[in-house]
Structure 1
Amino acid sequence: MALNIVIMAAGKGTRMKSATPKVLHKLAGRSLLAHVLKSGEPLDAAARIVITGHGAEQVEAAVAAPGISFVRQMPQLGTGHAIQQVVPALVEDQGQGTTLILNGDVPLIETSTAKALIDTCAGHALVLLTVDLADPTGYGRILRDKDDGGVLAIVEHKDATPEQRQIREGYSGMMAAPTAALKRWVAQLTNNNAQGEYYLTDIVAMAVAEGLPVLGIKAHSETEVLGVNDPVQLAQLERAYQARQAEALMRAGVRLADPARFDLRGTLTHGQDCEIDVNCVFEGRVELGDNVRIGSHCVIRNVSIGAGARIHDFTHIDGEALGASVGEGTLIGPFARLRPGAQLGREVHIGNFVEVKNATLADGAKANHLAYLGDATVGERVNYGAGSITANYDGANKHRTTIGNDVHVGSNCVLVAPVTLGDGATIGGGSTITKDVNPGDLAVARGKQVAIAGWTRPTKKR
């Protein structure tokens, strides 16, 4: 039986007060629409269709991917009108099929809930996703038969009577319907209502009139059916989502100093006995080994951190597409920065105000203060002095610096790439090195110190 997943994403989102289409606003680092699409990925859909309208080109470009098609709703004349536009794209298998309808601005719908709608529909029942709400303002109200509890109709909040507005069971905006029946029903919709729009909810009464089963199943929680209409609701949903992620991590053994001050905007895998201090942000894909400690106010993105590593306060790690890795027992920070391609071995020390980019540091290497290592290969047990840098860019091209094992680089040195320092070499403080240094050699390249006796400072002219 063919499954269609239809996501309504045509609305302007006027209350967002933004030039960005509402469904492209971010929740936990991913657009609202991307969250909905991800929830539907595990479902075996014959067609995944996104209905666009306001900012259609921008929305379509943002989420375009194999297997996703788009139908435009121009102008936007209500939810029923949206489904009317998508009817020609719906797939059936010998007249059989189910269409799941989701909302692009309701990002936290769970895959299990979507599957429950599909399974309950089974191609022959209209199934509505409902929820009991503390404040149902803005939601369509579920009208049930007083005798058997069956769903009779949904009345939109704008059209509800004062008595109907007292009903706490609201319609989430999501449903599953037999595809053939859905096509028939939306063709009969009219706009005879207060807003002059075509309401998809009117198909409930049509199903009842035909004697087709109309069922209502409730969401696991209010959070998964909450929509976003303005920045306040977006922020509230962000915190609700982060609280849910924090709770899951803590139940899995991670110690969070304060779950209310924690943000995960990607995926975080972890070993045992990991600790995370306050105001940390994790993005992309982050892996933590056993006994990793993350200090406060860190931003960590696309990196693998080995067992026993310590990431001190205010450290910024961003592996981007290249990724980054931190070896076992390594110490980073505070106030350190690892950029794409930073690959650190075991027991490496990267101290305060040290930046590492596209560089490999072997086991035991240390750069403890105020230094830059870019496009470099650094050997074992190297000591890299405060204020030293690799000058890796000549104005047009990047070049690499190679530092052998057991090299000592003094403070305030400039290593002008391409250059190689052999094993055991020593670089005197304040040197600018432009030529290779042989293993074991001492290299000093600085102006001779001159002392002028009896020198008098100039005086300011008055």
Structure 2
Amino acid sequence: MALNVVIMAAGKGTRMKSALPKVLHRLGGTSLLQHVLNAAAGVGADRTVVVTGHGADEVETAVAASGAVFVRQMPQLGTGHAVQMAAPALDDAQAVTLILYGDVPLIRPDTVQALVQACAGEQLALLSFQPQDPARYGRIVRDARGGVQRIVEYKDATPEERAIREVYSGIMAAPTALLKRWVAALKNDNAQQEYYLTDVVAMAVAEGVPVQAQVVADEAEVAGINDALQLAELERVLQRRHAHALMEQGVRLADPARLDVRGTLRCGRDVQIDINAVFEGEVELGDDVQIGANCVLRNARIGAGTVVHPFSHIEGAVVGAGALIGPFARLRPGAELADEVHIGNFVEVKNSTMARGAKANHLAYLGDATVGERVNYGAGAITANYDGANKHRTVIGNDVHVGSNCVLIAPVTLGDGATIGGGSTIAKDAPAGQLTVARAKQATLAGWTRPTKKR
């Protein structure tokens, strides 16, 4: 049985008060629409149709890689009208169509999979819930035996119907052939003069097609986002999900409420994460890794036993086992650190490799460098890798000692075991095993007096 998924993503999102289309706002580092597309993929959708409207070009470009089919709803005349626009793109050969919404990002694949199974190509299956405040949701109207009779929109409901606690989430699964016929027959004789998809419930009942509503326990799964406040509230829900999943795996979080995962975080055994850590993109932490407070890791891999001290920023970098990073360290894209490397406070490493046991403990910069084993790179030392037009590489051999406050003007090579005297500016290769010093001769001027301010 084929599965179509239709995702409604045409709305303007006026209450977001943003130039960005609502479905492209981010939750946990991923757009709202992409979350829903991921859910569709999670239930094995054979065809996914995204209905766009406001900001259609921007929306379609943003999720083009998903392989979805796009149809446009212009103007937007209600949810039923949106499905009318999508209908020609649906495969109706023994198929089920699942209706999802681009601003309802936390729906779980398991939940909609159960809804599709309940439909089974023969019934109309609805997802309902019982919120603390039913507000202006459409009410599920059941008969005396509990069967679903219809859905009434809040604006069209009587006071008795508004008192109903069970409401419709907007998510449904229907036999595709029937759904196409039903939406073609929709009328807009209602308070909003829109085509309501909910009207298909009464059509199904009239035709004797069974209608069932499955109640979802977690209201967050069906919560829509209409403004910045709701976006922030669901962000915390999502982060609680991440935190609980990590702790179930054995990760120790100093405070589950102060964690942000904006991508994928994979952790080994006995990982410890302090407060306010942010993980973006693809991040992997090996066994026994410790992440200090207020660190940001983006697209990084950290080896077993490494300690990342507070306020460090690691992006596009690979760190070996047993390393010490920070505090206040910055590893930029292309940084590859081997086992037991030490990077201290206010040290920046970019597009450089550092071999086992190399150390840069204070106030230093390594850019476009190849650093050998057991190198000691002094405080204030930098590689001058940019000549104003091109980048050049610095090669530092094994067991090199670079004194404090040195400038290595690339391209330059320091041979194995070389020592560079503090304060040197090195523009030529330094031979292995030798002391190289390049600095101006010190002079003292007798009788010199310091200038004073004129009064």
Work out whether 1:203 is the aligned partner of 2:207: no
Q: How far 1:66 sits from its partner (Å)?
A: 5.4
Q: What value does the CA root-mean-square deviation take over the aligned residues?
A: 1.1
Work out whether 1:387 is the aligned partner of 2:385: no
Work out whether 1:352 is the aligned partner of 2:345: yes
Alpha-carbon distance in structure 1 between the residues aligned to 2:159 and 2:434: 89
Q: How far 1:220 sits from its partner (Å)?
A: 4.4
* Match in the other structure for 1:46: 46
Other structure's SS at 1:45 match: coil
Aligned residues: 455
Other structure's SS at 1:76 match: coil
**C-alpha contact 2:43 2:110 (8 A) present in aligned 1:** no
4+ long deviations beyond 3 Å: none
Alpha-carbon distance in structure 1 between the residues aligned to 2:345 and 2:4: 54
Q: How far 1:43 sits from its partner (Å)?
A: 3.1
Alpha-carbon distance in structure 2 between the residues aligned to 1:67 and 1:299: 32
**C-alpha contact 1:3 1:47 (8 A) present in aligned 2:** yes
Q: Unaligned 5+ residue runs, structure 1?
A: none
Q: Could you give the per-residue CA deviations for residues 76-101 of structure 1, whole angstroms, max 9, x where no partner exists? A: 010001011111111122xx211111
Q: TM-score with structure 1 length normalisation?
A: 0.97
Alignment of 1:169-184 (within 5 A): 169-184=166-181
* Match in the other structure for 2:134: 136
* Match in the other structure for 1:248: 245
Q: TM-score with structure 2 length normalisation?
A: 0.98
Equivalent position to 2:232, from 213, 232, 235: 235
Q: How far 1:118 sits from its partner (Å)?
A: 1.4
Other structure's SS at 2:182 match: helix
Q: Could you give the per-residue CA deviations for residues 155-207 of structure 1, whole angstroms, max 9, x where no partner exists? A: 11222222222222111111111111011100111111111111000000000
Equivalent position to 1:405, from 395, 398, 410: 398
Alpha-carbon distance in structure 2 between the residues aligned to 1:281 and 1:376: 28
Alpha-carbon distance in structure 1 between the residues aligned to 2:66 and 2:346: 43
Alignment of 1:231-380 (within 5 A): 231-319=228-316, 324-380=317-373
Alpha-carbon distance in structure 1 between the residues aligned to 2:167 and 2:430: 75
Q: How far 1:72 sits from its partner (Å)?
A: 0.2
Q: Could you give the per-residue CA deviations for residues 402-452 of structure 1, whole angstroms, max 9, x where no partner exists? A: 100100001111111111111000011111111111111111111111111
Work out whether 1:166 is the aligned partner of 2:163: yes
Work out whether 1:75 is the aligned partner of 2:75: yes
Alpha-carbon distance in structure 1 between the residues aligned to 2:66 and 2:310: 41
Work out whether 1:62 is the aligned partner of 2:62: yes
Other structure's SS at 1:180 match: helix
Report the residue type matching 1:355 in the other structure: E
Alpha-carbon distance in structure 1 between the residues aligned to 2:155 and 2:261: 37
**C-alpha contact 1:113 1:220 (8 A) present in aligned 2:** no
**C-alpha contact 1:141 1:154 (8 A) present in aligned 2:** yes
Alpha-carbon distance in structure 1 between the residues aligned to 2:193 and 2:367: 63
Equivalent position to 1:156, from 153, 156, 163: 153
**C-alpha contact 2:341 2:356 (8 A) present in aligned 1:** yes
Other structure's SS at 2:379 match: coil
Q: How far 1:141 sits from its partner (Å)?
A: 1.1
Other structure's SS at 2:159 match: coil
Percent sequence identity over aligned pairs: 71
Alpha-carbon distance in structure 1 between the residues aligned to 2:154 and 2:397: 72
Q: Unaligned 5+ residue runs, structure 2?
A: none
Alpha-carbon distance in structure 2 between the residues aligned to 1:73 and 1:443: 72
Q: How far 1:67 sits from its partner (Å)?
A: 2.6
Q: Could you give the per-residue CA deviations for residues 84-137 of structure 1, whole angstroms, max 9, x where no partner exists? A: 1111111122xx211111000000111111211211111111110111211121
Alpha-carbon distance in structure 2 between the residues aligned to 1:440 and 1:138: 79
Taking a change above 3 Å as real, the CA distance of residues 88 and 459 of structure 1, as seen in their structure-2 partners, is same
